[in-house]
Structure 1
Amino acid sequence: MGTTFHSHHQTTKPRYFFMKKLIPWTLYIILPLALLHLYLFPLSPSPPPNSTSTTISDSSSSFTATTTTAAAASSSSSSSQEEVADELSQQPPSWPPCNYSDGRWVPHSGEPLYRGTSCKTIKEGQNCMAHGRPDTGYLHWRWQPQHCPLPPFDPAAFLRLIENKHLAFVGDSMARNQLESLLCLLATASEPELVYRDGEDNKFRRWLFRDWNATVSVLWSPFLVKGDEKQEALGLNYNTLYLETADERWAAEVEAVDVVVFSFGHWYLHSAIYYENGVVLGCHACPEFNHTEIGFFDVFRKAVKTAFGEVSRRYGNADKLVVLTTFSPAHFEGEWDKAGACPKTEPYKQGEKEMQYMDALMRRIEVEEAAEAEKGGGRVKFEALDVTEMALLRPDGHPGPYMHPNPFANGGGGGRVQNDCVHWCLPGPIDAWNEIFLQIVRRWKKSEGK
């Protein structure tokens, strides 16, 4: 009788001990399994800030590093339009884009799309390979934005996007430098045909990509506003600018242009006298004249406003794209005209080089004015292609002494070799400008529903 355990308390006691043992055993089994699953199948990270509004067809097969052949590029107009539509259908319509200027240069083992020995449109002074530059490390870096991917340049995709359109680079030699980079990149898919030439030094030229009926031009205008360039041989040691009037050499042609890229600024560092509405506004670095020294920052801003105002007036409410490539810093160690050089062979590390006040302010003016123009642009889209920081970090990408062929042959002229630490080797860092430019054109086409 005392051994039957019929009471409620007595009958639940074995169950209690059984459950007490079962729970730890279960945890001992489940926890290792859960940890193993997490190791094999890690959780997907949350998208970084701004990534939803900036990734542009990230998974599209069109963003590959392989070069499309010219034969593939010569597809029919209808098929290419279908390809464009397919590419654009995968892109978010957001505007503005990812902040591509926030990033770093990372080592890249791949080869550039073109070589200095193969591209036919490189200006002599930027052909570092052909001029005997011995190191090649400057070719093996890619710009990696912080919060979004930057796909390799796709020449056939770019040509499809500008099919039946006219793209023009307007400005100084930096505009021409970016243009020549783009021509070399596009030539890996289709050879450009020079159809117009006016003036020396590649100042006014036009190329046609016949398979796409796509036109690419360069228009020399170092101030964007009306101006007379200094001619030291004639005793004119200063520029003369008329700030309220756009340079008619580009303004007269811009209505026939669908995408215009402005790039200028370095000529504003030179001595100049400024006029506005027929009156001398002041001057910069002109001690021989009785004019007020006003520097060039406010004048530069006025020039940007005048250029934007001119395209807005001429474009009306048309579907056009206006891009302003921001100021690209020079990397002279010493004075440019006193054997200053740029001997570095690797990029600066993040935080190693601080942007100078002048470079930062020129960039800020351009970014601010592009944003202001975009507010009232209507169907005309304005955007700054912000390259100032990424350019600052590449002291290794300039021609340096290799602006001339084999500069150190026969002793290199007694050790005083002129250096170019402003323009960029081709191929070189400036190719990344056009990788970003491709994304801007893609987003423009998408935002307009084209």
Structure 2
Amino acid sequence: MVCKLNSKLFGYLRPYTKRVLSFGHPIGGSQCKSKVCQSLNGVIVIGSFLCFLLAMACGYKYVLPESGAIIPNYVIPDSSHSNSECNFFDGRWVPDESYPLYNSSECPFAEQGFDCLANGRRDSGYLRWRWKPKNCQIPRFNVHAVLEKLRGKRVVFVGDSLSRTQWESMICLLMTGVEDKKSVYEVNGNKISKHIRYLGVRFGSFDFTVEFYRSVFLVQPGSVPKRAPKRVKLTLKLDVLDDISKEWIDSDVLIFNSGHWWTPGKLFEMGWYFQAGGKMKLGMSISAGFRTAIATWASWIENMIDTNKTRVFFRTFESSHWSGGTRQKCKVTRRPLSKTKGRDRSPFSNMVLNVVKNLSIPVTVLHVTPMGAFRSDAHVGTWSDNPLVPDCSHWCLPGVPDMWNEILFSYLLSQESVSLQGNGNL
């Protein structure tokens, strides 16, 4: 029975058996006529074929070795909307000894509170990681190419303290290519403050500015209407963009972020409530309020921004790594996490992605949420200017925000957009 089964199975391979075994003599030569011998020859053919496949696989792995990354890939949920095969946000963190790209202690525009090494952090491994997209490469940072690209331009960041961190990171990165450091200065002589509404740094040798506007909600704060409940101290006009929005219009690169202040602790518990159409919306949830505010932002972008001049970006929500719900416990690890533990997704990020997807004009989403989800090692922790207050929301500089800017520069320097939504020219 076994011989019959083997004979049928290997009968299909008989023409190939003779070719494979032609380099030597088949077992038994012409005297081997039994089905057992034929089956045995077939076994040799199959074995040879499997050895060939194994050798090919080993050769492939030898010729094309994988990177030494320990952080797994992450695919963003909306990658199907990408207009290019290159998705900068589908990737992993890999070790890279060429980082960091600057010394924050030598950058006068990096906040002392974000300079973790200067504030006593002893391990420096968190500085030596690079984000590696799955199907493409982020071009290595070329400071001179970026400086020339921005010559005569106006770069504007709008948002909360995470936006300010990216603003600081960009200035520090660009200063590495400027010979005369004194030609880089804050236009009003201001020092960086957590609460100042406007900061602008001018690169005199290249005639461009990198500006930051503090607008944590993007929409307009308002006074308390008459007959409002006593718990209402301030309102957010969800259908009106921030009154400083007129300053953002005449820019060449415009980068937004929001979401980190949209929490009960920073809204309802502080007496902030929503307003739309001149009426209070006391029962409106935070997620509904954010969705309405982003819709207001989208309408403003479509009606006020000339995308032939201005390249618009929106950076998504950044993951924090608090150990407890009270934001009192902050464990900063020595290495990135191997699992995101749900931090790779955010309802705020999803709302931004959905709104931008339906815009009639091009806006590029910097979907950095999954990137930060792994980086529990890169937070400020207790290495700030106030070590008594732990910080698992903000990032050390140098650090993760530098990678946001490297991706941003890649978009600006590329000839064609590889964004989630449309094209734009700088």
TM range (shorter): 0.7 to 0.9
Q: Counterparts of 1:100-179 in structure 2 under 5 Å?
A: 100-179=88-167
Partner of 2:34 in structure 1? none
Partner of 1:384 in structure 2? 365
Partner of 1:281 in structure 2? 281
In structure 2, distance between residues paired with 1:100 and 1:319: 24
In structure 2, distance between residues paired with 1:181 and 1:401: 20
Output the aligned Cα RMSD: 3.6
**Equivalent of 2:336 in 335, 347, 360:** 347
Query: Could you give the per-residue CA deviations for residues 386-420 of structure 1, whole angstroms, max 9, x where no partner exists?
Result: 00001111011111011126x4xxxxxxxxx3201
TM-score by length of 2: 0.72
In structure 2, distance between residues paired with 1:43 and 1:394: 31
Query: Could you give the per-residue CA deviations for residues 279-337 of structure 1, whole angstroms, max 9, x where no partner exists?
Result: 1123xxxxxxxxx2x32112112212212221322224633211000000111112455
TM-score by length of 1: 0.68
The Cα shift of 1:360 comes to 2.0
In structure 2, distance between residues paired with 1:404 and 1:336: 21
The Cα shift of 1:168 comes to 0.2
Q: Counterparts of 1:198-209 in structure 2 under 5 Å?
A: 200-201=193-194, 202-209=196-203
Q: Contact between 1:116 and 1:127, CA under 8 Å: does it hold in 2? A: yes
> Structure 1 pair 180/200, CA: closer, same or farther in 2 (3 Å)?
closer
Partner of 2:41 in structure 1? none
The amino acid that maps onto 2:205 is: D
The Cα shift of 1:43 comes to 9.2
Partner of 1:263 in structure 2? 257
In structure 2, distance between residues paired with 1:305 and 1:196: 33
Q: Counterparts of 1:289-304 in structure 2 under 5 Å?
A: 292=283, 294-304=284-294
Partner of 1:371 in structure 2? 357
1:401 aligns with 2:401: no
Q: Contact between 1:95 and 1:443, CA under 8 Å: does it hold in 2? A: no
Q: Contact between 1:104 and 1:143, CA under 8 Å: does it hold in 2? A: yes
Q: Structure 2: 5+ residue runs without aligned partners?
A: 1-17, 26-48, 50-54, 66-74, 225-229, 418-422
**What is the DSSP-based 3-state SS (H/G/I as helix, E as strand, rest coil) of the residue aligned with 1:435?**
helix
Q: Contact between 1:258 and 1:321, CA under 8 Å: does it hold in 2? A: yes
Partner of 2:295 in structure 1? 305
Partner of 2:406 in structure 1? 435
In structure 1, distance between residues paired with 2:113 and 2:232: 24
The amino acid that maps onto 1:340 is: K
In structure 2, distance between residues paired with 1:444 and 1:225: 33
Q: Contact between 2:363 and 2:424, CA under 8 Å: does it hold in 1? A: no
**What is the DSSP-based 3-state SS (H/G/I as helix, E as strand, rest coil) of the residue aligned with 1:143?**
strand
**Equivalent of 1:422 in 379, 393, 399:** 393
Partner of 1:326 in structure 2? 316
In structure 1, distance between residues paired with 2:278 and 2:350: 28
1:246 aligns with 2:235: no
In structure 1, distance between residues paired with 2:425 and 2:382: 47
**How many aligned residue pairs are there?**
348
Query: Could you give the per-residue CA deviations for residues 66-110 of structure 1, whole angstroms, max 9, x where no partner exists?
Result: xxxxxxxxxxxxxxxxxxxxxxxxxxxx95573222111111222
In structure 2, distance between residues paired with 1:335 and 1:448: 40
In structure 2, distance between residues paired with 1:434 and 1:196: 25
In structure 1, distance between residues paired with 2:335 and 2:232: 36
The Cα shift of 1:444 comes to 6.8
**What is the DSSP-based 3-state SS (H/G/I as helix, E as strand, rest coil) of the residue aligned with 1:151?**
coil
Give aligned-pair identity as a percent: 29
